[in-house]
Amino acid sequence: MALGNYDNNQKDSVFRPNVYGYSMGNTGESALDKTNLSFTMWKSTIKISISPAVEGGSGERTEWNWKGAVSIYLTPTKALQFAEILRKYKEDPDTYNGWGVFAGKGFISVCNGKAFGGSKDCIVVQAISEEGTVTAQYAYEFKTDYHKVLESFNSETGEFVENTDMFKDIEIGQVITQLSDYATAASNAIAFSVVDNLAWTFHYQNRDIEKIAAKLGVNLENQKASSSNKSYFNNTSKTGDSNTQRQSGTMADIIGK
C-alpha cells in the first residue's frame, strides 16, 4: 500500500494519510495533452488529477507538474456513477460521448477527443467557477496501441507478430477498476469481515496475556482502572520490595502452567 503525506497538525490519535492508486502517463507526440492521470484516496473521497508534463524537463524520465494539476474529488456514489459511464462508453462510444459527473467545483467526463481536436478516447477534468464557467481543464488521452502482446514468436528466425488491438481499452479498464474498488472498500464490508474473524484471535491472545500477567503477579484489573501511563515493569514501587520473589523460565513455560 502506498502511503503519502499527512497533516502533522492532526491529533496523535488520528492517522489518515493519502493512499495512492493508479498513475498513468501519455507523452506521445500525437497525444491531445502530454499529461498524467493519477488517483489519490483520502478521508472517504478519491481525488482524480490530470497533471501536465514539465516543459523542458531534464533526464530521460518525464517530470510532471503536480502543482499545476486539475483535480476533482468523488464520493463513493459519484465514483460508481462515473465507473458505470465508462463501462457504457466502452460499449457505445457514440451514445455516451461527453457523459460525466459534477462533483464539488469540477466536472469529469469521457469523450472521443474530437471536440478538442483529437481522435482517441480520453478523460477530461474541468474546474468550474461559481458562475459556471470553465477556469481550467486538462485531458488524458488513453494509450490504445501502447500495450502490445505477441500473437506468435519464432525462436529460430526471431520473427514475431504483434497484437495492438486486444488490450486497446486496458487503461479505461484500469480506471473502472480503481473507481469500483474504491467504492467497494468504502463500504467497510471487507474490513468488518477481517475484524470479525479476528475476534477469536484476540480472545486467545488476551487469554495468554492474562496467564503471563498472573504468573508475574500483575493485577490486570487494577492496571485497567489506573489512569497512570507507567508500565508495571518500570514502576519502582512494585520492584523495591526485597521480599518480592521472581520466577524464571520461558514464555512457553509460563503460558503452559
User: What is the CATH number for 150?
Assistant: 2.30.31
Q: What are phi and psi of 118, to 5 degrees?
A: -105, -175
Q: Answer yes or no: is pLDDT of 1 > 50.
A: no
Mean pLDDT of 92-111: 96
Q: Are residues 117 and 41 in the same domain?
A: yes
Q: Answer yes or no: is pLDDT of 257 > 70.
A: no
Cα separation, 136 vs 140, in Å, equals 14
pTM (two decimals) = 0.71
pLDDT at 19: 93
Mean pLDDT of 196-220: 71
Q: Are residues 147 and 204 in the same domain?
A: no
Q: Answer yes or no: is pLDDT of 251 > 60.
A: no
Q: Are residues 71 and 155 in the same domain?
A: yes
* 1 assigned to some structural domain: no
* 95 assigned to some structural domain: yes
Q: Are residues 118 and 65 in the same domain?
A: yes
Q: Which three cell numbers stand for residue 174?
A: 484500469
The bridge status of strand 122-128 relative to strand 134-141 is antiparallel
Count each helix (H run) and each strand (E run) in the chain, helices first: 7, 10
Q: Answer yes or no: is pLDDT of 244 > 70.
A: no
Q: Are residues 154 and 83 in the same domain?
A: yes
pLDDT at 190: 85
Q: Answer yes or no: is pLDDT of 37 > 50.
A: yes
Mean pLDDT of 182-211: 79
Q: Which residue has the higher pLDDT, 250 or 223?
A: 223
Domain carrying residue 224? 198-256
Q: Are residues 69 and 92 in the same domain?
A: yes
Query: Which residues lie across from 101 on neighbouring strands?
Result: 108
Mean pLDDT of 201-229: 66
Mean pLDDT of 64-88: 97
* Domain count across the chain: 2
Cα separation, 213 vs 209, in Å, equals 6
* 75 assigned to some structural domain: yes
Of 139, 168, 192, the position where a domain reaches its end is: 192
Q: Are residues 62 and 181 in the same domain?
A: yes
pLDDT at 67: 94
* 2 assigned to some structural domain: no
Q: Are residues 41 and 153 in the same domain?
A: yes
Q: Which residue has the higher pLDDT, 235 or 32?
A: 32
With the C-alpha atoms ordered 92, 114, 39, 128, is the resulting torsion angle positive or negative?
A: negative
* 117 assigned to some structural domain: yes
Secondary structure of residue 136 in the 3-state scheme: strand
Q: Are residues 204 and 188 in the same domain?
A: no
Mean pLDDT of 48-66: 86
Q: Are residues 186 and 203 in the same domain?
A: no
In whole numbers, what is the pLDDT of the chain averaged over residues?
82
Cβ burial of 46 (10 Å; 0-12, 13-18, 19+) is: buried
Angle 9-10-16 from CA coordinates, rounded to 5°: 130
Sheet arrangement for strand 45-52? 19-26, 35-42, 45-52, 70-74
* 80 assigned to some structural domain: yes
Mean pLDDT of 66-91: 97
pLDDT at 58: 62
Of 164, 192, 220, the position where a domain reaches its end is: 192
Q: Are residues 233 and 145 in the same domain?
A: no
Band the pLDDT of 224: cuts 50, 70, 90. Answer: low
Q: What is the dihedral of CA 115, 117, 121, 123, to 10 degrees?
A: -70
Mean pLDDT of 193-205: 73
Q: Are residues 66 and 141 in the same domain?
A: yes
* 57 assigned to some structural domain: yes
Cα separation, 226 vs 209, in Å, equals 18
Which runs of E-coded beta strand occur in the chain? Answer: 19-26, 35-42, 45-52, 70-74, 100-103, 106-111, 122-128, 134-141, 149-153, 160-163
* 208 assigned to some structural domain: yes
pLDDT at 76: 97
Cα separation, 97 vs 89, in Å, equals 7
pLDDT at 39: 98
Q: Answer yes or no: is pLDDT of 247 > 70.
A: no
Of 140, 168, 192, the position where a domain reaches its end is: 192
